[in-house]
Structure 1
């Protein structure tokens, strides 16, 4: 009887859903294994968590503590990033390899332990080393505290929808070959919706199906876990009401098209108010310049309960996707986003600024004696192509280890030029592991300035350790005299990842109230690989809860 009871308890734990008995500590085990796939565009072994693609969803409530034990059973090193989790004083659990931790090696394990302080909504987790996040990713659902309602009509049901990209060949081989040649890698072969492509050339996937009941309202928790592409999302014949992005509530607005960059999340209310039948769900890429993308449209099906049993062969109402270069659609969507800015959920935008930075971001070319054309494509911030260290920067900072990094990252481009006009004659960048130092609780404004050295393109940029307010954006070169006059300091959208428009700039503000080392990088994985990344070191404060917590005893070693 005791054995049977223990088995029942184990099964209950594995099948945990948020409607069951609550606990203030959420325990998860992530076992990293390779699994062979046969239902997509090619049969191949992929790295997964618990054998799932996408991986398991993490459920918790605001202010809960999450404990995830990761066990590595593959030959590759692994790390995990809990994208958008602020990690207050717990940078050891943030996850980017060689920034906050050394990787978890084969046969080793590491426990990520962090608290969801003041956060609720939808986020994502993903591997943060090499290109593993192509298959190692999943959703995070943070429910409000018990008894605290959503600030929008309560949905009848919630649905998680995760977008991704798929390569027929091994993704690490794709990027390694490209780096060896010094050229851009092959684009993905397909997009995925909850791990399925839908009908696509040389793909056997039938696609994901979402079942709905007439008259009911569904909260769609939408996650873009794609590697290199910003995406459009539509459901044929249906409007959606946006209520949250990046786990922050928004002023609601209706739209039939969602624009979402890699690393971003969006919550939308969907009313099942159409006639019974099948409706196409689709995602397609956005790119309004000459850069190559996977142009395949992934599809799924929204099916009303009550549809005839022959629904699989019955007609499906189709949708028309925006053109790949539909800049106006992306602009309209982003301009519609505003913070809720209510008494309970205020927009605490910094009004005065201690650090004002201009970060010119883009792609350039450096000499390469071993590359096929004698040159290598690189990316940079303020002309610095970031070099990954071999010891984690956070460990070096905490233990005062010299020689790992320097704190002379330039807060402005060393040589100003026409960033969005004709490129300079010399496109070569400098290499270095440089950080920018911030005092505790100082306020920061960053203008992310896109450049056109090779080709202008949109850059979805992610800041670890903080949310930020998007106070302004524009096309062309940022004008420090006139552009701030139009900044929104009342209800700007609050995010952790923001797209910098092609040939333009975006201004963000945040308060550096989280001590540690925090990564800033383009969330197009190819640009991160090429070096479009840097880190902030935020000093400890003077108060008892204003310092980095000591590292855990099982922190991996390099």
Structure 2
């Protein structure tokens, strides 16, 4: 069953609360941008979430998907449109859908985070998300905000300019193609999510994918898996909308014999940047132009994950590849594996049936990612926002791992089964409070339970050499820093506050990078660096003129990144690492943005038919809580 978009020229009739909310959002946008109202459409999709069997690597696996597809259906809209997505949950899991990077201006109710912004959609229940797409254009994506299930529940969300492709700030492409990098799992993903949240680690995917296909580096009984094939015409320009939907890995993407011109990232235009390799972490999107200017033939498109070098734990991570094939080149159906392997660069055009393979960065080459992100700057564009110069609040957030005792207050640390390993910010791991009302609803109605929240600390409880590689292995130095705690960490910001956050990666039990994602807002990436952040010298490096604007910022391996954002979108917004294992282990917090002084700067009430704890059509809170407990999966994971 395919998702069917419907476009109409006039607005549909709505209930009064929904119409009032939409009108308020429209007025705010037009007043703030000076834009004149233009004809818009309502785009409708139906998402049927169900389980189907898919066969790869000689094994049938039961996977949870939307409309029987992997990846799921793409949502394509024009800036200014409204979107209605009717989610019909025929899976055995509680589900929410998050619209990753969509600002949700005055519409936090539709952000799709279980028990943060809404009750989850229970099995055999339905829910409709209504989104207003204003002030954004480019490549975003949607995914389940359910631990690990986003590996199979995801798809592209493409916003085109209201004046058409001719208004792109780059040459109009011949075609636009989503390229979704993902992973293939042969495990029960919901169970893996529960296990990770409870300290049982070491679960890994079986393969990597491009647009759901494993490619010819993988085989079933000697027969190569199908790979993604992009057919191109000589001389034409193609816009690749690249999305990393993987759970665990940042990827390098290359096409043999071709270069990319990066023109956007996270639905924000960038100064055109030419490179032969893209670096893209989970949660990120990159728009890149590719000109089909190589000799006619076949060229491998290779996606290779990177990971931190030793002494970091080395995990199974898989390279995959598809094909770029010229329309007049020799094609005999299935892709064939190059006898030279995926690591060799062809010395010119293709030879016979052997496609050209690119030379890829080393698995442990993380500096290529550092320079790729550091070379991107914002394009001066009509939608460009000014960087806040004056800062109202500053946070220094140290990202790392830690542990709590499985039983009691005292236990043996280090390499022992007496502890549960957690991911932390400023030495605290996020957990949802013992309440059955979503935080957004409790915040809006000022109900009980908000008093149990703990303020996210401005800084870590102690200073140390955050990036000391000696902290990565278990040992006496690491064990002194390992003890941590769990809490529902929130940070409140007055409306309009300019906030600066320094994200500092650490070496505590790992030296990973951290793709940090903030819901409801974009962030200005002012600077990044390796080692420990030092304000006395690093502030001078801040780019306050044209910094990259992102919703997901990669904090480098054993390094730091500084961002600023304006807290002007009232609501309760999740902020977390987009590595799924870090999120399930608690590397998250909630940012609460208060209402402004006027109605048009305040969060409207929940829309009609919203899933609230008092809604007659839903289970009462106690029943909902007991059902979730019975399923054995925690609220933080959203199932």
**Which range, TM-score by smaller chain?**
over 0.9
1:318-339 residue CA offsets vs partner (Å, 9 max, x unmatched): 1122111112211221121000
Map 1:287-436; keep pairs closer than 5 Å: 287-289=307-309, 290-310=312-332, 312=334, 314-342=353-381, 344-369=382-407, 373-389=417-433, 390-404=436-450, 405-421=452-468, 423=478, 425-436=480-491
CA distance in 1 between counterparts of 2:566 and 2:58 reads: 45
Q: Which residue matches 2:597?
A: 542
In the alignment, does 2:111 pair up with 1:94?
A: yes
8 Å Cα contact 1:339/1:347 also seen in 2 = no
Q: Which residue matches 2:50?
A: 33
Aligned counterpart for 2:82 among listed residues 61, 65, 70: 65
Superposition RMSD in Å: 2.1
Q: Which residue matches 1:155?
A: 173
In the alignment, does 2:567 pair up with 1:512?
A: yes
Map 1:240-319; keep pairs closer than 5 Å: 240-289=260-309, 290-310=312-332, 312=334, 314-319=353-358
Aligned counterpart for 1:118 among listed residues 135, 139, 148: 135
In the alignment, does 2:484 pair up with 1:445?
A: no
CA distance in 2 between counterparts of 1:316 and 1:35 reads: 34
8 Å Cα contact 1:341/1:347 also seen in 2 = no
In the alignment, does 2:243 pair up with 1:223?
A: yes
Secondary structure in 1 matching 2:600: coil
CA distance in 2 between counterparts of 1:541 and 1:285 reads: 43
- Offset at residue 40 of structure 1 (A): 5.3
| Higher alpha-carbon deviation: 319-328 or 92-101 | 319-328
Aligned counterpart for 2:125 among listed residues 108, 112, 120: 108
8 Å Cα contact 1:229/1:293 also seen in 2 = no
Secondary structure in 2 matching 1:38: strand
- Offset at residue 483 of structure 1 (A): 1.2
| Higher alpha-carbon deviation: 103-112 or 281-290 | 281-290
Aligned counterpart for 2:4 among listed residues 14, 39, 47: 14
8 Å Cα contact 1:177/1:185 also seen in 2 = no
8 Å Cα contact 2:269/2:379 also seen in 1 = yes
Q: Which residue matches 2:27?
A: none
In the alignment, does 2:121 pair up with 1:83?
A: no
In the alignment, does 2:91 pair up with 1:74?
A: yes
User: Gaps spanning 5+ residues in structure 1: where?
Assistant: 1-9
**Length, aligned pairs only:** 543
TM-score (norm 2): 0.82
Judged with a 3 Å threshold, the aligned counterparts in structure 2 of structure 1 residues 94 and 41 are, in CA distance, closer, same or farther, namely farther
1:462-508 residue CA offsets vs partner (Å, 9 max, x unmatched): 00000010001112221122211111100110000011111111000
CA distance in 2 between counterparts of 1:145 and 1:99 reads: 32
Map 1:135-174; keep pairs closer than 5 Å: 135-147=152-164, 149-174=167-192
In the alignment, does 2:514 pair up with 1:459?
A: yes
Secondary structure in 2 matching 1:481: helix
Judged with a 3 Å threshold, the aligned counterparts in structure 2 of structure 1 residues 429 and 214 are, in CA distance, closer, same or farther, namely same
8 Å Cα contact 1:244/1:250 also seen in 2 = yes
CA distance in 2 between counterparts of 1:271 and 1:408 reads: 50
1:203-222 residue CA offsets vs partner (Å, 9 max, x unmatched): 45211111000011100011
Q: Which residue matches 1:3?
A: none
Secondary structure in 1 matching 2:88: strand
- Offset at residue 536 of structure 1 (A): 0.6
- Offset at residue 295 of structure 1 (A): 2.5
- Offset at residue 169 of structure 1 (A): 2.0
Secondary structure in 2 matching 1:174: helix
| Higher alpha-carbon deviation: 518-527 or 168-177 | 168-177
In the alignment, does 2:256 pair up with 1:236?
A: yes
CA distance in 2 between counterparts of 1:178 and 1:130 reads: 9
8 Å Cα contact 1:411/1:436 also seen in 2 = no
1:166-187 residue CA offsets vs partner (Å, 9 max, x unmatched): 112222233434455x242322
CA distance in 2 between counterparts of 1:348 and 1:210 reads: 38
- Offset at residue 129 of structure 1 (A): 1.4
Q: Which residue matches 1:47?
A: 64
CA distance in 2 between counterparts of 1:42 and 1:322 reads: 31
User: Gaps spanning 5+ residues in structure 2: where?
Assistant: 9-38, 337-352, 472-477, 614-620, 622-639
8 Å Cα contact 1:476/1:504 also seen in 2 = yes
- Offset at residue 552 of structure 1 (A): 2.2
CA distance in 2 between counterparts of 1:420 and 1:258 reads: 26
CA distance in 1 between counterparts of 2:567 and 2:610 reads: 25
- Offset at residue 306 of structure 1 (A): 1.2
8 Å Cα contact 2:6/2:44 also seen in 1 = no
8 Å Cα contact 2:519/2:574 also seen in 1 = yes
CA distance in 1 between counterparts of 2:116 and 2:271 reads: 35
